[in-house]
Amino acid sequence: MNFLDMSLSYHYINNHANIKEANPLLPDRPSLSQFLLQKGVTAPVIAQNMESGQIVIINVLLTGIVLRNHYLYETTPKDCISNNFHVDGHMMPC
């Protein structure tokens, strides 16, 4: 699931101007090496410090995140400027 999350996130942010990485440990548009480094450091630490039941819960949550990311990629307009606000502060439609 970590590989799927990382590879799809990398694909989504590089192929969609209005999609950004939400992981607070990474910049808005991380490079592939930044993804690999972050996953390479955090995944083993998590795996070593959790019981098998906790890892199952993490994998279920990660599966939900991957599905939500795909939904956002498919439904976010590609031709809309992400900060399209009117002068009075409300969001303008694309």
Strands (DSSP E) found in the chain? none
Q: What is the pTM of this model?
A: 0.75
Three-state secondary-structure class, residue 21? coil
Cβ neighbors of 69 (< 8 A, separation 6 or more) are: 5, 8, 9, 12
Q: Which residues pair with 85 in a beta bridge?
A: 91
Spatial contact of 38 and 23, defined as CB atoms under 8 Å apart: yes
- pLDDT of amino acid 84: 58
- Cβ contact 36:89 at 8 Å: no
pLDDT tens column, 32-91: 999 999 988 988 898 899 999 999 999 999 999 999 999 888 888 777 655 555 556 555
